[in-house]
Amino acid sequence: GSHTVCGPAKPSPATQPLGTIRSARDVAEGGLYTIGRQLTIEGGTLNGLEVGQNLVVRHYFRVRPLAGSDTTGEHSAGLVQVVSVTERSSIAAVIYACDAFRNGDFLVSFRPESVRPPEPRGVPDFDAAARILYADDAQMLGAPQRLMVIDRGSAQGLRVGQHCTLFRRHRSGGPEITGEAIVVAVRLDSATIRIERVSDAIAAGDLAAPQTPPADAR
């Protein structure tokens, strides 16, 4: 529900960090924080921070794809709220943490994804398939409830709540269906999907065909 902010994404070049985590006042076990814990932030009013602002905590991670050079993924770990601010530093309180916050994690403005109920299942458009780029930080394979990033987004008509059929191509060229996923977040040229069910492990390079609901179900 509220934790849809968490997970992997393809970095957006336009994202301007507003601050960086400099210290966690209470160093928790393994960097995990509970609601209300306070963090010191490098960045203040000069960076555009103000009291009451909600910020997403993020870091970049390296992906070693099966072929080609390393690429960079982005991981969102949770949400904090600014509780006090000076020109160059701030204090933020944890709203929720899905996993560890680290010194050096950067903070960006929180823009809530519109929450939409899942669309009806439909017919997969194999010709409009997206390629799966990577799973979340330190994960290799997609399994149920895991999140993965694909290389198509709102520019290609993908929508939050849309179902996708996961597949790979047979040597004959036909699709071998390996599972199903649902789109949970969309950017211009990428999206994040949540794996719903699989008949085989899902890996980078596998494909995700967006489903088009029947016209009368929309």
Structure confidence at residue 161 (pLDDT): 94
If we measure between CA atoms, which residue out of 155, 134, 158, 162 comes closest to residue 74?
A: 134
- 138 is a domain residue: yes
Q: How far apart are CA 211 and CA 92, in angstroms?
A: 41
Structure confidence at residue 1 (pLDDT): 44
Q: Is residue 54's pLDDT more than 50?
A: yes
Comparing 97 with 32, which gets the higher pLDDT?
97
Q: What is the pLDDT of residues 149-197, one digit of tens each?
A: 999 999 999 999 999 999 999 888 889 999 999 999 999 999 999 999 9
Supply the CATH number for residue 103's domain.
2.40.10.410
Predicted confidence band of residue 214 (pLDDT cuts 50, 70, 90): confident
Percentage of the chain surpassing pLDDT 90? 63
Place of tokens 């301007």: 16
- 212 is a domain residue: yes
Q: Which residues, including other chains, have CB under 8 Å from residue 76's CB and lie 6 or more apart?
A: 5, 6, 7, 9, 56, 57, 58, 98
- 115 is a domain residue: no
Structure confidence at residue 134 (pLDDT): 92
- Mark whether 127 and 103 lie in a shared domain: no
- Mark whether 43 and 102 lie in a shared domain: yes
The domain boundary residue, chosen from 85, 109, 133: 109
Q: Is residue 21's pLDDT more than 60?
A: yes
Q: Is residue 125's pLDDT more than 90?
A: yes
Structure confidence at residue 114 (pLDDT): 72
What amino acid occupies position 49? Answer: L
Domain span at residue 96 reads 2-109
Burial class (CB in 10 A: 0-12, 13-18, 19+), 150: buried
pTM: 0.85
Provide mean pLDDT across the span 20-35.
Answer: 67
- Mark whether 146 and 71 lie in a shared domain: no
- 116 is a domain residue: no
- Mark whether 156 and 134 lie in a shared domain: yes
- 203 is a domain residue: yes
- Mark whether 98 and 128 lie in a shared domain: no
Structure confidence at residue 156 (pLDDT): 96
Predicted confidence band of residue 64 (pLDDT cuts 50, 70, 90): confident
